[in-house]
Amino acid sequence: MVKLAPSILSADFSKLGDEVREVEKADADYIHIDVMDGQFVPNITMGPLVIEAIRPITSLVLDVHLMIEQPERYIEQFANAGADILSVHVEATKHLHRTIQLIHSFGVKAGVVLNPHTPIEAIKHVLQDVDLVLVMTVNPGFGGQSFISSTVSKIEELKEIKHQTKLDFEIEVDGGVSDKTANLCVEAGAEVLVAGSAVFGKQDRSAAIKLIRSSITE
Ligand code: DX5
Ligand code: ZN
């Protein structure tokens, strides 16, 4: 069963608690939290305080996507705030393996993120160490962008590697995922779908989640 991870980046921040409760009721699996620092990506969003605020109101997995330079500086804070998964971009940290170890040292799952241009080769030697690989299907920084279809072959490639190596990392995709693109991703091998505007951009969040799920034929 494919997991759905609504991204609160597109939520109404004036009632964030209600937004989280609503998607939990609609059977979301993860809450995807986009942390941006204005350096690694042009946008600035939220930090550990927001995660700390959400933690007590939901039992869903808090899937924290760190789009920040040198994420190793903040791993402890995000872990203490209640993150369940912390994902870092290949290009943001000099010692990727050490950063993965650091995340695990706090009992948190570690993910690694590939930008649309980043080849799988860049993470080949840490695949056995991660719990999740996040394939960006847009360039990171903003919600509501169009799905980049050339990333689909990367999802397929990753699925094949997972199959051959028998490793058990999850394959997650992020960006431009909607009822139009979800099935394409799942057929290619995606196991977790992040969706921001396709969920929180719709009046009825629950209907939006149902629509995405019903578009998946698997
Ligand atoms: C983009 C973020 C995404 C974003 C996705 O940098 O990583 O998680 O919220 O938004 P949509 O689903 O609208 O493309
Ligand atoms: Zn994200």
Report the complex ipTM.
0.99
Q: Phi and psi of 207, rounded to 5°? A: -65, -35
Q: What is the pLDDT of residue 185?
A: 98
Contact 86, 64 (CB under 8 A): yes
172-185 pLDDT, tens digit per residue, is: 999 999 999 999 99
Residue 140, token pair as written in the block:
């990171």
Residue in 37, 63, 84, 174 annotated catalytic: 174
Contact 190, 133 (CB under 8 A): no
Interior/surface letters 182-204, b for 16+ CB within 10 angstroms, e for the rest: bbbbbebbbbbbbbbbbbbeeee
Residue in 29, 34, 37, 63 annotated catalytic: 34
Q: What is the pLDDT of residue 189?
A: 98
**Percent of the chain scoring above 90 in pLDDT:** 100
User: Rounded to an integer, what distance in angstroms lies between the CA atom of residue 190 and that of residue 196?
Assistant: 16
Task: Output the CA torsion sign for 59, 6, 113, 183.
Answer: positive
Rounded (5°) CA angle 192-9-114: 50
Instruction: Establish whether 129 is a catalytic residue.
Output: no
Q: What is the pLDDT of residue 218?
A: 80
Instruction: Establish whether 174 is a catalytic residue.
Output: yes
Q: Residue 122: helix, strand or coil by DSSP?
A: helix
pLDDT at 33 over 90: yes
Residue 15: pLDDT band with limits 50, 70, 90: very high
Backbone dihedral region of 181: left (phi > 0), alpha (psi from -120 to 50 degrees) or beta? Answer: alpha
147-200 pLDDT, tens digit per residue, is: 999 999 999 999 999 999 999 999 999 999 999 999 999 999 999 999 999 999
57-88 pLDDT, tens digit per residue, is: 999 999 999 999 999 999 999 999 999 999 99
Contact 196, 144 (CB under 8 A): yes
pLDDT at 30 over 90: yes
- Which residues lie at CB < 5 A from ion ligand 2? 34, 65, 174
32 appears as a binding residue in the annotation? yes
Contact 67, 47 (CB under 8 A): no
- Whichever domain contains 147, its CATH number is 3.20.20.70
User: Rounded to an integer, what distance in angstroms lies between the CA atom of residue 97 and that of residue 199?
Assistant: 34
Q: Which residues have C-beta atoms less than 6 Å from ligand 1?
A: 7, 9-10, 32, 34, 65, 138, 140-145, 174-177, 194-198
Range of the structural domain that residue 92 is part of: 3-214
Tell me how far CA of residue 34 lies from CA of 141, 167, 183, in angstroms.
9, 26, 23
Q: What is the pLDDT of residue 141?
A: 98
Total domains in the fold of the chain: 1
pLDDT at 90 over 90: yes
Contact 33, 63 (CB under 8 A): yes
CA-9 nearest atom, ligand 1: 9
